[in-house]
Structure 1
């Protein structure tokens, strides 16, 4: 019965999408959230918002779908559409190499790193078993190197909190609206949050966007 309901939801969603009835598609998704997987819910919601031109919520839900483990070409294409339209700088569009690296790593689910590590571990053991590697020290080195994907992923993202601004957002010089506005940014930018002061967050990266933003303006990933 559950599968039947999901199929009906998918068909209805597809019809609404093709008929450009995006508001009804969003309403259907919200009503059906409990029956959908997290990936399906966030991916479809992000796709509809992107089609509507609401880049902030579109980016937010697509990034959540990616965080949940989905990294299909359709999702990546939707993200590319958003990045091509935003008039600003986020992690993946920054001129800073470290920002770009963190942005790229953040788009790779940890499950991918674990899978690569497991494949490399199995390969190392097989090479040793069939005497392609005869030195135990070489085997130990290969095993250590097998954990690099996880190490790089965890090392690059350790202690970092990512967010997307849902709507147009003002960046202030301090944690209050009494401070001067440094910049006004369009919805759909991805950045790394730093310290928090009550209902305000500081943008750490990219450095070009550094400043204070209201908690109500962002969606934390």
Structure 2
């Protein structure tokens, strides 16, 4: 896409947003196949932010980062959303392990195979050259890589759409043990009807009802 066409597209997209023609803006993004994936994701984030859908905006901005958009614009956009959602302190409670799991789960599929291919290459080079340290490093890396792949596949990933009460069990008869704020990233495992059990982050481990808006 030439710089002129890109600027024209950008101006038209912003005009749709300004006029609150959100569906037209979305259709414009979806129909244009020349836009890089990370730019498209960022624009979807901006579109959802303009609509007031902060959780979806956060999701798209984070996906834009994972697809290689590392500039200050996306960082500032995420900081602004976290501030508006009041979840900055919430995300500060994630452990390094939990942050790694969240990143690993949302990593684009090609990145996973690229990493696996790299470690396999290291292993085979070490094997052929009889460099035992390199071979061992390759084996250990593949095991760790596979373990985390197995670990994250056990859970479903979601962005929490609205503030939810956390119960000790899958029913309102159980004790309320906390509040999961909107915009929070969670891994959940067990499901009972409309109830999901949060595995990570551990500080919010418990059951939430996905169909109920607890804190209006």
TM-score w.r.t. structure 2 length? 0.66
Shift of 1:188: 1.1
* SS at structure 2 position matched to 1:23: coil
Does the 8 A contact of 2:123 with 2:134 survive in 1?
A: yes
* SS at structure 1 position matched to 2:67: coil
TM-score w.r.t. structure 1 length? 0.65
Change (3 A) 1:32 1:215: farther
In 2: Cα distance, 1:144 partner to 1:102 partner: 21
In 2: Cα distance, 1:213 partner to 1:22 partner: 37
Once the two structures are superposed, residues 153-195 of structure 1 have per-residue CA deviations (whole angstroms, 9 ceiling, x without a partner) of 4144231211111233333344345555444444211111121
Aligned length: 206
Counting only pairs closer than 5 Å after superposition, residues 63-212 of structure 1 correspond to structure 2 as 63=62, 70-74=67-71, 77=75, 78-88=77-87, 92-122=91-121, 133=129, 135=130, 137=132, 140-141=135-136, 143-145=138-140, 147=142, 150-151=145-146, 153-177=148-172, 179=174, 181-212=176-207
In 1: Cα distance, 2:25 partner to 2:172 partner: 35
In structure 1, runs of 5+ residues without a counterpart are: none
Does the 8 A contact of 1:13 with 1:28 survive in 2?
A: no
* Structure ranking higher on relative contact order (CA contacts 8 Å, 6+ apart): 1
In 2: Cα distance, 1:146 partner to 1:173 partner: 38
Shift of 1:102: 2.0
Does the 8 A contact of 1:33 with 1:41 survive in 2?
A: yes
RMSD: 4.2
